[in-house]
Structure 1
């Protein structure tokens, strides 16, 4: 198993960052057929072979994704896609 973790600072404020995290999650859910749920300031998502969360703070967002054994070889690509999404949605 591989874990990809990325923390990105932002100047959006917590509520605006949560709205953007939701947009990112909507795209993720459609692309991966993942189930997404919020609990306070943390959005969790899950599908076969992938578990993850997006924790939204006042000035940062932390994304953590655990990849199952079959997806572990794709960890570098997954990290790149997450970074690209964070750049797009937190800009």
Structure 2
């Protein structure tokens, strides 16, 4: 099993950061069939077959962690690159 662990600094106010994570989750659900749910105001859990993870919001950074199953583990590099691209786009 492969793991992704990304920390990304941001300067958004809490409500804007929450909304940006929500928009990312909606895109993941639409494009890849990922199910997601919020645990409180600052942790979003997501999963689907082959991936389980969460996005934790802190005041000045967010952290994306994901556990990839065998098949998706082979695509860890491209998946991680796409996550970083989206984070740069939404949290700059």
User: TM-score, with normalisation over the residues of structure 2?
Assistant: 0.95
Q: Distance in 2 between matches of 1:64 and 1:31?
A: 19
Alignment of 1:81 onto 2:70: no
Structure 1 outlier segments of 4+, above 3 Å: none
Q: What is the root-mean-square deviation in Å for CA atoms of aligned residues?
A: 0.7
Q: CA deviation at 1:5?
A: 0.8
Question: Residues 35-66 of structure 1: CA distance to partner in whole angstroms, max 9, x if unpaired?
Answer: 11001110000100011101011111100111
Long gaps (5+) in structure 1: none
User: TM-score, with normalisation over the residues of structure 1?
Assistant: 0.96
SS in 1 for 2:11: coil
Q: Distance in 2 between matches of 1:90 and 1:84?
A: 10
Q: CA deviation at 1:15?
A: 1.7
Q: Distance in 2 between matches of 1:70 and 1:45?
A: 18
Alignment of 1:57 onto 2:69: no
Q: CA deviation at 1:33?
A: 0.2
Q: Report the number of matched residues.
A: 91
Alignment of 1:44 onto 2:45: yes
SS in 1 for 2:67: strand
Q: Distance in 2 between matches of 1:45 and 1:64?
A: 10
